[in-house]
Structures are given as C-alpha cells and as structure tokens.
Amino acid sequence: MSAPGFGENAEQLRRATVQVRIDEGRSASGSGVIWNGQGAIVSNAHVVRGENVEVEFWNGEVVRARILKRNARRDLALLSTDRPAPAAARWADSGRLIAGEQVLAVGNPLGFIGALSRGIVHGVGPFRNLGRQDWVQASIRLAPGNSGGALADSSGAVVGINTMIAGSIGLAVPSSDVAKFIDRPAAPVLGITVEPLSIQLNSRPAVDLRIQQVMLNSRAHFASLRPGDVIIGLDGEFFSSPEDLEDRLMIGGLVHLGFLRDGKPVAREVAIALGPEEPGRLAAAG
C-alpha cells in the first residue's frame, strides 16, 4: 500500500482542525486542533477569551466546549467537548524540523473553513523581541482565523500551533511545548496580565513588570494588587526577563512580591495556587 499523498495529508489535517467560536457563535475567533479521540482540543489562549466557547467540526457538527486550562504566556489553551471527536491529529516532534523543510498550515482565516497554505521552515528557536521561548518560524501565508490551527510537516503530522505573524514570518508554538503544556497537571494562578518595562540595574539590563489587568477574585485581587502597579521583584530577586515571574510561580507556595505604586515601594505576601487558569471578569481599578 502506497504512502498517503499531499491531498490525503491535507484532508486529514482539515478533519483534525476545528473552528472555535465565542459567545455561542456570534463571533468566529479562530481555530483549534483535535489532540486526541477523547475530545481534547488545543488552541491559542488569545483565541478562547471568554466563557461561552463552541467548536465546529469538519462535518459541520457544533458542540459546546469548556476550557480545561490556559497559559497566556505561552498562548496555549486546552478545551474539552466531553464527547468523542470525529478525527484526531497525528503529532510529530518539532525538534526534528530542519530549515528548508516544507510545512502545511490549516485553519479558518477570514471565515474560509479548512483553508490550506504551504511554506518553508526557517528554523526553530527564539524570535527577536519575543523572549526566550522557542517558535517554529516559517515563511507561510497566515491570516486572522488561522490562530490556533495546525502547522504540519509534509507527512501531515502536526509540529506546531499557529499563533501569529511577525513581519512576513509565521510563528507557531512548537509541538514539544504543546506536549509539555498538555502533560503539566497544573499552572500557576496569580490572576494578572503584565507588560515588561526595560530598565538598567547595576549596569545590566533588567525587567520590571507593569500590571495591565487584575482578575476579579484572583490571588492578586485579594492581595490588593491594581492595574498600574509595577512588580519589581519576587522573593528579593529582580527579573532578568518576563519569564522569571512564571518560573518562580510554578513552585507555588507563599511568595514575597515587591512592587511600586505611584512610585512608592510596597510589599505583599501572596499564596500561589496551582490549578487551571479560569477566565473571569476584570477587577475594578483603584
């Protein structure tokens, strides 16, 4: 029996890719990839902003989905439909990709269901101005709606989750990072989103983190953190990159948080829970 050709691989990818919609179908948000036959679906965290999520399978069936967990920093989300999925993706190790290799992307850009594009891998690794995280970097045509969809090798095995375009380069979360996200039983919950602020500390570059949002009834909310506060350190240590905050939070337990409010230093002790990140409303500022 001959190996599947390009058309068969593309069709398998389409069947393993879903459209993700928010607020009961009133807005198409992006795409997702069926992780396994038990109904687990991987997408981007920025795609599933909201509580009412539904997915549409390749056969037109629409079902409600619930968010099992999210990781906003890695921009990944895991959904469950609590029912067997009609198809599931095959996955491959993104670490085996080489520059020049052909890749395929399937998603739902601009309302076109199951759109396919082809491109070439540039490499796998960090991308300028995006921290230390690895990305599958490829010259491939993507558009709004591709986010959360599959990036696959020439055999049709998924090697990444398409996330964004940087210039003319498509960036996808490597499948190796997706697997770690799926297998990790818990994620740190603090309940804030932050933006990095570059500073100079003792003649070396450092980072402060300004709080943009605080979720209602989160650990940060109960610790009286507010949007506009600038986190300057954790447990007496400063940050060399935005990732340092989550790396420390993964340990859990009680942390000593130092921050600036209106230019004045403030300290708080915060108990960090390990568990799924639940979407919620923003706490009022002030």
- Between CA 228 and CA 194 the distance in angstroms is 9
Q: Does residue 31 have a pLDDT over 90?
A: yes
Q: Does residue 212 have a pLDDT over 90?
A: no
In angstroms, the Cα distances linking 124 to 102, 104, 170, 237, 242 are 13, 16, 12, 31, 20
Q: What local confidence, expressed as pLDDT, does residue 201 receive?
A: 58
Range scoring the smallest mean pLDDT among 49-53, 107-111, 141-145, 158-162: 49-53
Which option is the CATH number for 187-275: 2.30.38.10, 3.40.50.2300, 2.30.42.10, 3.90.25.10?
2.30.42.10
Residue 140 main-chain phi, psi, to 5 deg: -145, 145
**Strand, helix or coil at 39?**
coil
Contact 148, 20 (CB under 8 A): yes
Contact 186, 272 (CB under 8 A): no
Residues near 7 by beta carbon (within 8 Å), at least 6 away in sequence = none
Name the amino acid, one letter, at 204.
R
Q: What is the pLDDT of residues 70-128, one digit of tens each?
A: 887 788 999 998 788 778 899 999 999 999 999 999 998 877 788 889 999 999 999 98
Q: What is the mean pLDDT of residues 26-45?
A: 85
Q: What local confidence, expressed as pLDDT, does residue 23 receive?
A: 67
Do 6-80 and 94-183 fold alike per CATH? yes
- Between CA 107 and CA 113 the distance in angstroms is 7
pTM of the prediction? 0.69
Q: What local confidence, expressed as pLDDT, does residue 69 receive?
A: 84
Contact 137, 127 (CB under 8 A): yes
Q: Does residue 174 have a pLDDT over 90?
A: yes
| Mean pLDDT score of the chain | 82
Q: What is the mean pLDDT of residues 241-268?
A: 78
Write out the catalytic residue numbers: 46, 75, 147
**Closest to 40 measured CA to CA, from 105, 86, 85:** 85
The domain defined by 94-183 carries CATH number 3.30.390.30: no
Assigned token pair, 127:
């991308």
Q: Does residue 18 have a pLDDT over 80?
A: yes
Q: Does residue 279 have a pLDDT over 70?
A: no
Contact 21, 113 (CB under 8 A): no
State the architecture of 6-80 in CATH terms. Beta Barrel (2.40)
* Better-predicted residue by pLDDT, 279 or 77: 77
Q: Does residue 140 have a pLDDT over 60?
A: yes
Contact 18, 247 (CB under 8 A): no
Domain ranges across the chain: 6-80, 94-183, 187-275
Q: What is the mean pLDDT of residues 267-280?
A: 61
Residues near 177 by beta carbon (within 8 Å), at least 6 away in sequence = 74, 76, 94, 133, 134
- Between CA 209 and CA 229 the distance in angstroms is 8
Q: What local confidence, expressed as pLDDT, does residue 103 receive?
A: 95
Q: What is the mean pLDDT of residues 63-76?
A: 85
* Better-predicted residue by pLDDT, 277 or 24: 24
